[in-house]
Amino acid sequence: MIATERLLLRKMIKEDIGDLLLLFTDPKVMQSFDGNLFDNVQMERWIQRNLSHQDKYGYGLFSIIHKEDGILIGDCGLEHIEVAGKPEVELGYDLRSDYWGQGLATEAATAVRDFAFNELALSRLISLIRPTNVASRRVAEKIGMSKERQIERGKRSYFVYALSKPEV
């Protein structure tokens, strides 16, 4: 578990499905995906994929709990992906729209970035962000990431934001 001033980031569990469905059925949130809202089956698969990733690598996406009200408000974490044939670790974050504009995504992403570099000894992180997702691009920049390039994945265009672990 990772604690910040306003958040608790804990391992995702299957029982989070109801709260995560609120997130992934929010049309504002899903604009940064393909726009299609998740159903129960898709949500179960998504959670299972994350749990399998956690079992394989020892980390994955955390559920974000808002300390003040105890509500699960999103997810933030790390996932192994391949970009242009190269293995990468992606730092991703999703937050309920009723919690936007409070710096919570930046707070969670900063904590996961520090966890990745300091606890897991990872040397590089990326974030794939749709060009139209200005708020997510701002979060990436606030945590020190820089836009490297633009890529096509499937039928979608993404900016690749990246950050290497600072030399000490």
- Could you tell me if 12 and 43 are in contact, meaning their C-beta atoms sit under 8 angstroms apart? no
Domain 2-164 -> CATH class: alpha beta
Q: How confident is the model at residue 36 (pLDDT cuts 50, 70, 90)?
A: low
d(CA 94, CA 130): 13
In this predicted structure, what is the pLDDT of residue 52? 94
- Note the pLDDT tens digit of each residue in 103-157: 999 999 999 999 999 999 999 999 999 999 999 999 999 999 999 999 998 888 9
Put simply, whether the predicted model's pTM sits higher than 0.85 gets the answer: yes
Whether residue 85 is predicted with pLDDT greater than 60 in this model: the reply is yes
Whether residue 30 is predicted with pLDDT greater than 80 in this model: the reply is no
- Is residue 37 exposed (0-12), middle (13-18) or buried (19+ Cβ within 10 Å)? middle
- Could you tell me if 71 and 64 are in contact, meaning their C-beta atoms sit under 8 angstroms apart? no
- Note the pLDDT tens digit of each residue in 7-29: 999 999 889 888 888 888 887 77
Whether residue 35 is predicted with pLDDT greater than 60 in this model: the reply is no
Domain assignments of the chain as residue spans, ordered by start: 2-164
- Note the pLDDT tens digit of each residue in 42-83: 888 888 999 999 999 989 999 999 999 999 999 999 999 999
Whether residue 168 is predicted with pLDDT greater than 90 in this model: the reply is no
